[in-house]
Amino acid sequence: MQVYKAYFKIIKQNLPAISIYVCIFLFITVMLTYFGGEKTSPGFSKTKINIAFVNDDDSAALAVGLRDYLSTNANIISIQNNEESLQDALFFRKVEYIVKVPAGFSQSFFSGEHDVRIEKTSVQKSQSSVYMDFLINRYLSTAGLYTQNMPGISGSQLLGFVKSDLEQQTSVQVKAYGKKTDSRVATYYTYLVYAMIVIIFLGVTSIMLVFNDPDLRKRNLGSPLKSLSMNMQLFLGNMSFAVVVWIIMVTIGFLISGKAAFDINSVMMYINLLCFAFVCLSLSFLIGNLIRSREVQQGIANVLSLGLCFIGGVFVPQQLLGKTVNFIASFTPTYWYVKAVNDIEKLALINITNVTPIINSMLIQLGFVVALLAVALVIAKQKRVSA
């Protein structure tokens, strides 16, 4: 194991520089985790939109009641009652919906006329438009039931009955089986891709630059040690380095996870990260056999890390990238790592159906490891023959 021992002697000499890389990129990852913005909660939260309410029906009870009802579900903005002001407010999104009650609406409604309508103007095909249509139809449908079944009902009585009916609410409790991963933990393991690529790449290629020095390589080729054994010992040293980096990353993850550090979801995060660490190792081993200078090394590290992170869904969520970009990204290991993280984060119930996509993503990453390692060994053999 002469090469393996020599590997760690070189690591020891480069330890200060490698430690700086580890500290800097881990610091960046942790900062992105805590200050990079929380993921949107999948739950429901009620929001109010801005609307304009124009009442040309004077103080008719039905129009007043409708305005009071809409004010509990939307923000009514005061705007001058002229066409230009209303259109400007809608164009500049000061309001998203304009309700206009025409003169004589209440009287026509109580008399049972079916062609009476409330005028509306809204942002086309918007969710707010559909929601406001629903609220108006709900109020008028409830009022219509009373006018049809209680002839002669007064306006004040109608308002009271309708208000009482619409104030009724049903208590809804959403229960989930199992426990989902903390979004902060998932964010950490997502952003960790950037640190993992850079640290392992710079560490491995720095060692490879030493062993690929032309004079040293020719001297090693003249030694009794077989080249296959030499390459395997070198790869074993790189693997040991990658595992040490993985342990450091997971240790930081322990601190972020807290009590959930040993949950099944967290354990799957660790395994997924280990698979990706081997991907970074194989990729670094491949490129390490090709580069010749540290200037090229730094350039490749930046392009490789940022490129894989942007296209793989690290800095931009995969659901926002579009089908074409995601299709292209599926040919990169970063995509499958991030996909596994997203699936683990949503995992609340452990069963074969839910776990299978995660395992498949990990196996695809290991497939990249085998492919990259095979190409690296072929290149190493070609270089040995050409030497």
Sign of CA dihedral 41, 273, 32, 282: negative
| Confidence at 45, pLDDT banded by 50, 70, 90 | low
| Confidence at 216, pLDDT banded by 50, 70, 90 | low
Q: What is the reported pLDDT for 354?
A: 86
Query: What DSSP designation does 164 have?
Result: H
What's the mean pLDDT in 97-121?
Answer: 80
What's the mean pLDDT in 27-36?
Answer: 75
Residue 191, both tokens: 């952003």
Query: What DSSP designation does 213 have?
Result: -
Distance CA 198, CA 137 (A): 58
Residue 105, both tokens: 């609406």
Distance CA 298, CA 320 (A): 30
Structural contact between residues 140 and 110, judged by C-beta atoms closer than 8 angstroms: no
Q: List, for residues 289-321, the tens digit of each pLDDT value.
A: 888 777 788 788 888 888 888 888 888 888 888
Residue 296 in 3-state DSSP? helix
Q: What is the reported pLDDT for 128?
A: 81
> For residue 297, what are the contacts with CB-CB under 8 A and spacing of at least 6?
202, 205, 206, 209, 291
Residue 121 in 3-state DSSP? strand
Amino acid at 341: V
Distance CA 256, CA 182 (A): 10
Distance CA 274, CA 271 (A): 5
Distance CA 174, CA 31 (A): 33
> For residue 94, what are the contacts with CB-CB under 8 A and spacing of at least 6?
50, 77, 79, 88
Measuring CA to CA, which residue among 13, 86, 101 is closest to residue 54?
101
More confident residue, 33 or 120: 120
Distance CA 187, CA 385 (A): 46
Could you tell me whether strands 74-76 and 119-122 are parallel, antiparallel, or unpaired per DSSP bridges? unpaired
DSSP 167-207: T---------SS-PPPHHHHHHHHHHHHHHHHHHHHHHHHH
Could you tell me whether strands 119-122 and 97-101 are parallel, antiparallel, or unpaired per DSSP bridges? antiparallel
Q: List, for residues 224-251, the tens digit of each pLDDT value.
A: 666 667 777 777 888 888 899 899 888 8
Q: What is the reported pLDDT for 67?
A: 87
What's the mean pLDDT in 163-178?
Answer: 69
Q: Which domains does the chain have, with CATH numbers?
A: 2-41+180-386 (no CATH), 49-166 (3.40.1710.10)
Distance CA 357, CA 347 (A): 11
Distance CA 293, CA 87 (A): 64
Q: What is the reported pLDDT for 299?
A: 84
Distance CA 22, CA 200 (A): 9
Residue 283, both tokens: 């990729």
Distance CA 252, CA 254 (A): 5
